[in-house]
């Protein structure tokens, strides 16, 4: 009988989670570990057999009513042993009583449905190549942790609960750029691009309308070396964001299924031109 133990992940084990995510093809950011862990240090778990990590999962709490499942990975050598189910149940128990979100692969939709999750929409990942493009730069400003309150108020429109611990780190992450558009002292949209294991990722891209989204999209990709590739994860219900991807000749890469348990949050996806991450929502 396998001696299987589940315990909280230690801070220095977060890099291992990032490594495993990369092996699964998720292409995490080079500096994601700290920001992900800061989101909820109690919400990351590992499963061990004879003292060795063989499984992991994140169950990050946001505010008092929302949580998000990610990093659900089992070492290939220990799959089909029931260990994944055990750590999954542990994570669900940790988030008990909350609305729970996740981004799963499409072929697992039926399994998540059996666990009480419902499909809200698909997130489609598009891949593009950076070019030096001209654009309307009026109102565009660089944002950082110094603008935290300013950004946090705006960000709150697009997530089911506050995520200040994560966001504070996200705004100051190394090897990334955060840009916003300000009009009459009001933030009209913001986006971020960060360096990943391979290329770059834009996320989030939250704006009031498509015109602002396109401005920020161009400004963000202009920040990285010409010829570099970058990705953007678009909720399929935002057709204007899909049009931007088409306009700039981005190519389909893959997709995930955004699913929720205990209710689907009321978020205006017409303003979500790119999600923040697949791992933490």
Domains of the chain: 4-106 (3.40.630.30), 125-274 (3.40.630.90)
The Cα–Cα gap between 237 and 239 comes to 6
CB proximity list for 169: less than 8 A, separation 6 or greater: 34, 35, 38
Low-confidence ranges of the chain (pLDDT < 50): none
140-142 and 176-183 beta bridge pairing? antiparallel
- Give the model confidence (pLDDT) of 230-275 as tens digits: 999 999 999 999 999 999 999 999 999 999 999 999 999 999 999 9
- Give the model confidence (pLDDT) of 163-198 as tens digits: 999 999 999 999 999 999 999 999 999 999 999 999
∠ Cα 253 78 23 (to 5°): 30
User: What is the pLDDT at residue 25?
Assistant: 86
Name the residue with tokens 């400004």. 219
User: What is the pLDDT at residue 4?
Assistant: 93
User: What is the pLDDT at residue 142?
Assistant: 96
Greatest extent of the chain over all pairs of C-alpha atoms, in Å: 66
End-to-end Cα separation, the chain, in angstroms:
36
64 phi and psi angles, rounded to 5 deg:
-110, 0
User: What is the pLDDT at residue 212?
Assistant: 97
Q: Are 231 and 201 in contact (CB under 8 A)?
A: yes
User: What is the pLDDT at residue 134?
Assistant: 87
User: What is the pLDDT at residue 53?
Assistant: 97
User: What is the pLDDT at residue 80?
Assistant: 87
pTM for the structure as a whole: 0.95
Q: Are 256 and 126 in contact (CB under 8 A)?
A: no
């Amino acid at each position: 009988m396998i001696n299987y133990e589940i315990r909280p992940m230690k801070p220095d084990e977060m890099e291992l989670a990032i490594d495993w995510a990369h092996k699964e093809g998720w292409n995490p950011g080079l500096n994601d570990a700290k920001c992900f862990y800061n989101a909820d240090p109690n919400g990351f778990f590992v499963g061990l057999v004879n003292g060795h990590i063989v499984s992991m999962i994140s169950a990050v709490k946001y505010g008092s009513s929302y949580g998000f499942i990610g990093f659900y990975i089992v070492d290939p050598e220990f799959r089909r042993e029931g260990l994944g189910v055990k750590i999954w149940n542990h994570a669900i128990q940790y988030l008990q009583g909350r609305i729970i979100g996740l981004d799963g692969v499409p072929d697992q939709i039926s399994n998540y449905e059996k666990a009480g999750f419902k499909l809200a929409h698909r997130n489609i990942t598009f891949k593009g190549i950076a070019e030096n493009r001209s654009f309307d730069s009026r109102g565009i400003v660089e944002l950082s942790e110094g603008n935290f309150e300013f950004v946090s108020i705006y960000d709150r429109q697009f997530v089911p609960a506050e995520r200040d611990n994560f966001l504070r780190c996200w705004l100051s992450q190394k090897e990334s750029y955060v840009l916003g558009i300000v009009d009459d002292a009001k933030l009209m949209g913001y986006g971020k691009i960060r360096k990943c294991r391979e290329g770059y990722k834009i996320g989030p891209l939250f704006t009031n309308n498509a015109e602002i989204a396109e401005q920020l999209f161009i400004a963000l990709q202009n920040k990285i070396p010409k010829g570099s590739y970058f990705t953007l994860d678009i909720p399929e219900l935002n057709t204007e964001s899909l049009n931007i991807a088409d306009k700039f000749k981005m190519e389909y890469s893959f997709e995930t299924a955004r699913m929720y348990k205990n209710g689907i949050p009321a978020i205006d996806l017409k303003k979500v031109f790119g999600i923040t991450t697949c791992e933490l929502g």
